[in-house]
Structure 1
Amino acid sequence: MADGRKTSFTRSFQGVLTRRAFLAASSGLSAAALLPASASAVAFPVPEMLPLEREDYADARRRFRTDLVNKGPSPEKSEPLGTPPGARRVFYRGGPDGSIELIAWLSHYQPSAKLKPAVVFLHGGNATGEGHWELMKPYWEAGFVVLHPSFRGENGQAGNFSGFYDETADALAAARYLEALPGFDKDRLFLAGHSNGGTLAILAAMTRKFRAAAPISAGVNAWRFFSRYDREIRFDAADPREFIMRSSVCFGPSLKCPTLLLRGTEERPFDKDHQLLIDRARSAGVSIDAKLLPGNHNGVVPAAVLESIRFFNEVAA
């Protein structure tokens, strides 16, 4: 990474940059990506009480297909992906049908008789870059194999951006890719992610079982998210099911592994939504907790990565 980009990336963890500026610093995004979200141009009803779905999320996904009324790439303009230091560039078949070839970065490791734990880390925003990969360093230093996937429509890749739904299928496909590799303990496959990646991590952990999940600054309420970022709506906003299938809070009992929700003390207050998810998951006997760490939305990430390592080791002990 060039010195100027390193400096800008560091400042993002000091609270200087906004969410979109952080993406620009870490992913090489254009100035257009720094524009603020528009005033809501898409009208959709927001429920007073967030619905609780009785159907398991994995079963619901098998029956549901998102209706994309506006097809195209990710809303974040970004550079094509290279290969950052400490990573090996690999390709996985994204989506439920494996029809899209997507790039992922895999940490260097040598398979041995002593199996290693592994973590799939899902990046924030709607594009990735070397700045995101730098955040993974504590994982491989702690002995984890790390896979950092990109998603459909990002960084000039094929596929249509959907706003969390089909990207969840990509995240699950990336986990299957990692499972097929030699040298790691399949009983210690963990999942983490930040911001949009945290949102995807919860949805993925509701679809299949990981050893544990640590979403960082995750959104659990799609109505809340898309009312703020309405430019990212690509689906039929008149269909409430589209929002339900992107809202993990509606499927709390579907969580399939121990989960720790991590968030910065200076972030916008999502306590009510997170607590509702926790209450609904615990009603089904799921081990789930939340922890606040010092910092804002971007600044909390380094400490949260370290906390996720502690949590994963504790669960696996």
Structure 2
Amino acid sequence: MVKIARRKYKIQQETIRHLFMKKKYRWLKFIPLIFGFLLSACDGNNYSFKLREDDYAGAHNKFKTHIVDDSFVGDGQPAMPPKEIFSLVYYPAEDGNMAAFISTSPTDKTKKYPAIIWLTGGYGGIGNDDFFWSDRPANNDQSASAFRRDGLVLMIPSFRGENANPGRYEMFYGELRDIESARQYLAKLPYVDSNRIYLAGHSTGGTRALLASEYTKGFRAIFSLGGIPDLRLRLNYAPIPVAVPFDQNDPREFELRSPRTFLKSIKSPTFYFEGEYAYWEEFDEVKEITSNKGIPLYIYRIENGDHFNIIRPLTNLIAEKILNDREEKVNIEFNENDFLKLQYNLPLPN
């Protein structure tokens, strides 16, 4: 189980509160006021990070990432799936055609069906084996099996530089444009309801989902399981299995890859979930900001959950919410009964 260290500023605040208990240090009560005033004067807020006011899509399109490392190796050519479960397709994107699995088209093509894009975790793409159509353990089912059901179209895409795709791996940057290309591909299928396309992802896929919620307005709702708040924090926390491809000396490279930087760009309902044993405490501050500013990002810390055992019960719950989301405007929400049901179905952690 992962434990996330508290931010340094939180430790400093605890130290200040401890000192304040001593009479001779009561003057320290003015420090937060002074500090808050200085932050407000400099940044317009007193958050622990820079909250950008500009639109993420505009900032993203103006900035050109500087890729300095090309050592990333994708998963290779995807395996050919069983035809009764998936088709291997190639959707057009900025750098060329990208591989994806898409669930078998429904028998009745006269109807329009909701669709969901699943962003897989890890690095490399959508694999080159039977991962997405073989049985997975209940406490770590990353196969999106919950979305393989009647009445719902599932797409599992890969992106630039992954698998055997053209382009260069950019780590949470150009891939966002590929996500939008995948959405447009789905929207053009004659049996897909273009107004009911959803996005969900886990881990690195969950981070991409959060960034996509800021980049594009085309998804009806977005679900992130275990995404991160800030890329620099993640890299400082522990090593990752691939080289960082971009210039780490440029702070803009991190800003444009960190979901909490552009919270104000979120327009579609976006839901974030993480198990309590892997939860980033930074999301507490994000939750406060989004609540105060009316940003449609809803954050849930799952009791007794870790980074993996929440996936299967949550994706089953999300699939049910999508199938029942039939009104003109999105009507998805999560209530106490949902989480009681989730707890009942939660497998033991890894």
- Flag whether TM exceeds 0.5 (same fold): yes
Within a 5 Å distance, the mapping from 1:61-72 to structure 2 comes to 61-72=60-71
Superposition TM-score, scaled by structure 2 size = 0.70
Measured in 1, the distance between the counterparts of 2:196 and 2:263 equals 23
Within a 5 Å distance, the mapping from 1:143-154 to structure 2 comes to 143-154=151-162
Determine which of 161, 175, 179 is the counterpart of 1:167.
175
The Cα shift of 1:300 comes to 2.2
Determine which of 214, 228, 234 is the counterpart of 1:219.
228
What whole-Å deviation, never above 9, does each CA across 1:228-261 have from its counterpart, x for those lacking one?
Answer: 2365311110100000000110111111211111
Residue matched to 1:83: 80
Amino acid across the alignment from 2:118: F
Measured in 2, the distance between the counterparts of 1:93 and 1:72 equals 25
Measured in 1, the distance between the counterparts of 2:119 and 2:133 equals 10
Larger radius of gyration: 2
Residue matched to 1:38: none
Residue matched to 1:9: none
Residue matched to 1:54: 53
Residue matched to 2:244: 233
More deviation, 240-249/183-192? 183-192
Amino acid across the alignment from 1:218: G
Query: 1:152 aligns to what SS in structure 2?
Result: coil
Change (3 A) 1:274 1:298: same
Query: Aligned pair count?
Result: 264
The Cα shift of 1:82 comes to 1.4
> What root-mean-square deviation, in Å, do the aligned CA atoms of Structure 1 and Structure 2 show?
2.2
Residue matched to 1:118: 115
Residue matched to 1:141: 149
Assess if the C-alpha contact under 8 Å between 2:290 and 2:297 holds in 1.
yes
Measured in 1, the distance between the counterparts of 2:226 and 2:284 equals 14
Measured in 2, the distance between the counterparts of 1:82 and 1:157 equals 14
Amino acid across the alignment from 1:87: F
What whole-Å deviation, never above 9, does each CA across 1:42-67 have from its counterpart, x for those lacking one?
Answer: xxxxxx93110010111111211111
Superposition TM-score, scaled by structure 1 size = 0.76
Query: 2:180 aligns to what SS in structure 1?
Result: helix
Identity of aligned residues (%): 30
Query: 1:298 aligns to what SS in structure 2?
Result: coil
Gaps of 5+ in 1: 1-14, 16-47
Gaps of 5+ in 2: 2-46, 135-142, 333-350
Assess if the C-alpha contact under 8 Å between 1:188 and 1:316 holds in 2.
no
Residue matched to 2:102: 106
Residue matched to 1:131: 131
The Cα shift of 1:79 comes to 4.4
Determine which of 294, 304, 311 is the counterpart of 1:285.
294
